[in-house]
Homo-oligomer: A and B are copies of this chain.
Amino acid sequence: MSLVVHKYGGSSVADAGKISGVARRIGKVKDTGRSIVAVASAMGDTTDELIDLAHTVSKEPDPRELDLLLSTGELVSCTLLTMALRNLGYDAITLSGFQAGIRTDDMYGRARIFSIEPDRVESELAEGKVVIVAGFQGITDDLDITTLGRGGSDTTAVALAAALGADRCDIYTDVDGIYTADPRIVPDARKLPEIDYEEMLELASYGAKMHPRSIELGAVNGVPIYVASSFTEVPGTLIHRVEKVRELENRVKATGIAYQSNVAKITVRSLPDRPGIAAALFEPLATRGINVDTIVQNTSAERTTDISFTVTRSDLSQAVDLVNAILPDLGGTEVVSDSTLASVHVVGSGMQNTPGYASRMFRILADGNINIDMITTSEIRISCIIREEQVSEAVRLLHDGFQLAEEG
């Protein structure tokens, strides 16, 4: 029998009225004879409110306790969703993370799913029930409750879809699909009917409202992911394996423009140019959980090197302190930082094999008087670090310049 997994984000279940609306949507799917599993996030801002509550009693809440506390948010939204479904006459049941067999490691606050034991979910589905699963949570081998961290509920949904062999995983959220650029910045941005996992991964990493983690899981397990609005019926975007026709004419065509604001850059000057210097610099940052994004290293004629890297702005002061503390050991002369940057990214399959992309991007930015601070590239993405106040203009110019408003 055909099985689909749905996921509804916090804004989709923010109050009793919205929960009843989601129940009606799920009911309609059930009416077509398909089996359905739905994963829900906590209502609205519940998770943040619980974190605030924890900080009223403790300066540094214990991670295990915090996870047990946060896991209640999804239990509340999911039991209410099940009650709303039953109120409409559908047989439904809520399963918490542990009841749904979602087994994780014990990295509290950012646990990774290592397996799903879907027996209970399958037996409830076999009885004809709609199964509502609490997202964002799992259980360790020691029966301790964990949460999965950012993008956790999407990850629960895609992992369940993979474990159950579902036809598709639908992510219903407050955006109605994946666009060629942020429609708030680019009014003629075009919704993509479909996109390849790899391209979506790049867009998700730089601005799109999905966490790359669930996209990666979908790609590895071949689960098609459909992103659409939970409030409307307009068609969304299908993320799946897109077989691109090799275009003989080698036309330069990108898929979308992404951006990130609140980028901060740190530059360590005049480091000795010897093996191991980058490891010595970045290991302490990784240990503290500070995510480093773009890294650029330039070696000068004097056998010293400058290393620049970007972090999110909220990590900047901690990162600067850390680097200053190890600066004597590193042998560098100076640490400077800039917190007023942003990044802009052109994403498209096979860009690296097509010489035109990068130069075209740089030309478009230059014509717009936008200075480029750093450049990095991947196989399907070219990224530039620029001044934050120019980021909206850069996105608009790139969207225009790559003709993304036109059908592909």
Contacts and interface: CB of A to CB of B under 8 A. Distances in A.
Contact of A56 (B16, B57, B72, B81): B16
A66 B53 contact: no
Contacts of A23: 57
B61 A83 contact: yes
Contacts of A87: 57-60
A79 B59 contact: no
Contact of A86 (B19, B62, B94, B96): B62
30 contacts: A16-B53, A16-B56, A19-B57, A50-B76, A53-B76, A53-B80, A54-B83, A57-B83, A57-B87, A58-B83, A58-B84, A58-B86, A58-B87, A59-B87, A60-B87, A61-B83, A64-B93, A65-B82, A65-B86, A66-B79, A68-B96, A69-B76, A69-B79, A69-B83, A71-B75, A72-B72, A72-B75, A72-B76, A98-B143, A99-B143
Contacts of A59: 87
A145 interface: yes
A202 to B, nearest CB: 38
Contacts of A19: 57
A65 B79 contact: yes
Interface residues of A, number: 40
A65 B53 contact: no
A20 interface: yes
B84 A57 contact: yes
Contacts of A62: 82-83, 86
Contacts of A56: 16
Contacts of A58: 83-84, 86-87
Interface string A90-104: 000110101100000
In the A-B complex, the 9 residue pairs with the closest CB atoms:
A72-B72, A58-B83, A69-B79, A16-B56, A58-B87, A57-B84, A65-B79, A61-B83, A65-B82
A69 B75 contact: yes
A90 to B, nearest CB: 11
Nearest to A143: B99
B84 A80 contact: no
Contacts of A82: 62, 65
A408 B93 CA distance: 56
A65 B50 contact: no
A112 B345 CA distance: 60
Contacts of A72: 72, 75-76
A264 to B, nearest CB: 31
Given A58-B83, A58-B86, 8 more contacts: A50-B76, A58-B84, A65-B79, A65-B86, A68-B94, A68-B96, A98-B143, A99-B143
Interface in A78-129: 79-84, 86-87, 93-94, 96, 98-99, 120
Nearest to A16: B56
A274 to B, nearest CB: 44
Nearest to A144: B99
Contact of A80 (B60, B69, B83, B144): B69
Nearest to A80: B57
A143 B68 CA distance: 17
A59 B16 CA distance: 13
Contacts of A96: 68, 145
Interface in A272-291: none
Nearest to A87: B58
